Amino acid sequence: MNNKSKYTAAAAQLGPIDPSEPKESVVARMLNLLIEAKTKGTELVVFPELCLTTFFPRYYITDPANLDTYYESEVPISLMSDMFELVRKEKIIISFGYAERDNGIPFNTSVYVDSSGNIVGKYRKIHLPGHYEYEPDRPFQHLEKRYFTKGNLGFPTFDTTLGRLGMCICNDRRWPETYRVLALQGCEVVTLGYNTPKHYPLAPEHDHLQEFHNHLCMQAAAYANGMWVIASAKAGLEDNCELIGGSCIISPRGEIVAEANTTMDELVVAQIDLNECTLIRENIFDFNFDIYIPLYIYIYYIFFY
């Protein structure tokens, strides 16, 4: 595969989605961002987690028919046909998140669609936060553990014309192991989407640090693993729940090279240079020379078996 070492990428942040907003309206907004990305010569566009609907895990939903409306039984190709056509025409790779049901099993999923219009990668969220049962004292729920099953695809990487890509979703970004597992497979660019409330009911003392912690974990991981991180938020006041923004692109140096200025629909664009991954991995963190994989495996088995 003839890979490009330099290209333009974007995090396509979405502002709030009201529970009553139909998926078709959300896809129209996504298409507008994709058209803007095309005008800027962007070749990789990253949309948020669960980007087709409001963040429904904040609700305790007891009506199965209502809950079903949030899930897709397959990648929603017909719903997103105009976007996929633009992807094919302009030779863009996109990633986006949606709620998936595979043979009845629910997953928080993200996929890559490449310039052929094909699904070239899929990831299912592993680090599911929140709780399972309704908790009436919370100002809003976080029922991901109720509505989704832990991902069963591991942390795969995908060889593309834009380098070796890997995905994670929201809470995955806070766990260092996510990036290290991807990096050990040669991943050069990690793409991710998130829905993160400003208020955290279990530790409200940290509310003022939410944006800081959001960037901290991704910047540290980008540097420690010599990889690019492209992170796209669902942001803004969504049905009285404030979601942080901060969509950004982070270089292997750990620097934020581009960041959203709003909590609305916004395209965050930067130049990707994959040579920067090599610079870090050969001179700062040499995986082949400085770490001992069998020791990692030994520690893993001690703690988890």
Q: Which residues are catalytic?
A: 49, 125, 170
Locate all alpha helices (DSSP H) within 138-274, ordered by sequence: 144-147, 176-183, 210-225
Quote the DSSP letter at residue 67.
Answer: H
Per DSSP, the three-state class of 108 is strand
The two structure tokens encoding residue 264: 């609305």
SS3 content of the chain, % helix, strand, coil (to 5): 30, 30, 40
Sign of CA dihedral 113, 114, 120, 125: negative
List of residues 6+ apart from 200 with CB closer than 8 A: 206, 207, 210
Quote the DSSP letter at residue 253.
Answer: T
272 sits in which H/E element? strand 266-273
List of residues 6+ apart from 231 with CB closer than 8 A: 11, 46, 173, 191, 192, 193, 194, 218, 246, 247, 248, 249, 250
List of residues 6+ apart from 38 with CB closer than 8 A: 86, 90, 92
